[in-house]
Structure 1
Amino acid sequence: MSYHWNWGVLLSPVSTGEPSTYLGWLLSGLQLTVAVSLSGWVLALVVGSCVGVLRTMPHRGLAGVAAAYVALYRNVPLIVQFFAWYFVVPELLPSSAGAWFKQLPPHLQFLSTSILCLGLFTAARVAEQVRSAIEALPRGQCAAGLALGFTQWQTYRYVLLPVAFRVIVPPLTSEFVNVFKNSAVASTIGLIELSAQARQLVDYTAQAYESFIAVTLAYAFINLTVMCAMRWIERHTRLPGQLGGA
């Protein structure tokens, strides 16, 4: 193999004249990846929980709207959604709102679009997890809550959701990990996150193996951290008699 390995390139000053090294580029991309992914996950968890609850409501109109949301976001490729949110949606907004978005600094445009798109895409998947968990619970739990005088929303909040969320911690772990991996698609609209920084490093140094091995290790570290944290949460929130309970 004629490839010349040079791990020291990561510590070399960048050739653009910035006061940084190529490793600094990767670390800045890592920080942006974590920030976008965590922000998108918070949005996904909030929106997905609401949509998942609406899918199990007896009101057909609300359940239909929630089902349409899930069908739309699950059946359109993520990269198409990124392009739609960045290029199409600003043109469909009222002229004042569209002009305001276009006047933002490019970095903020990329960042806000990435968080919104990634969060709403993942929310559709979270919604299905929440719906499945609620529907898997014994019907008597809902009836018991209503018999105690709770309203429909109070029954969900105090009876159904506390149990449902404990049941779906394992599948939510997979969705949480997927958020970090899917954040790489944000580079297609210009966000210089971890994978984009890796490609930029290759363009400037031609050291492709070192760059992408470093990025692979970074993604592996993030995902292992997420899985360990979620496993800790699962272990400390499981209920006896439920899935995974002692």
Structure 2
Amino acid sequence: MLKDKYDNHPEFLRVTIELKRVQDELDQYRNFFDLGEREVLVEEVQNLRNQLQSYLDKSPKTSQKWNPPLQLTHAAESVLETVVESSNDDAEKRFEEERQRWTQTESEWISLSEDLRAELEASRSLAEKRELELNAEKKCSEELKEALQTAMQGHARILEQYAELQEKHIALLARHRKIRDGIADVKQAAAKAGVRGAESRFINSLAAEISALKAERDKERKIWKDQNNGLQAQLRDTAEAVQAAGELLVRLKESEEAVADAK
């Protein structure tokens, strides 16, 4: 994607077209000199000289009278040489201007290439950084998933223990209620019959047993209450872990999208 952006950059395309045009003009000037345009002009001047000399050779009698035309011939030759030299100077001047222009265009193209290369390198570095962050987020997510799985398993075990403890508590309450009702019936029967002595001791022992059962029930109730508090604390921890896992998954998704955009 970055390479396409680099190739389709408007400034890059403009510089490429300009560089192609300058290169074509440079080739034309090179061809101009390669074809020997200067030699052609010199050859034409030489032909004119030969024709003039041939004409003078055919008219020997008037050669002395026509010394000024000979001087004119030399002047024409000088003019032709001047024209040739002027043409060559103009061509060289244009060639030098085009060469400087081409050099400047090439410098601009190189500068643009360096800028695009730097931008490409920065994008590549950013993509590598995002990829490292993504890998770190994935590793953290895996660790959090393992911790969450462990917490969920512990939560399930606590729920099972809580259910068992609740069943025991209900059974203990029913037993205590049944014993209490039985003792109340025994006391009422003893009071009606006027029981004394051993029967009274039996009733007192039953009352002591009930008190012990009550103390045991209170102890178990305290244990159940502590376990219930611990269960609630673990439930809160589990809820916080689930929330943290959700936030991490959102960050992980954002990191994946950022890496995809960078690439």
TM-score normalized by structure 1? Answer: 0.24
Relative contact order, higher structure (CA 8 A, sep 6+): 2
Please state which structure has a larger fraction of its residues in helix: 2
Higher-Rg structure is 2
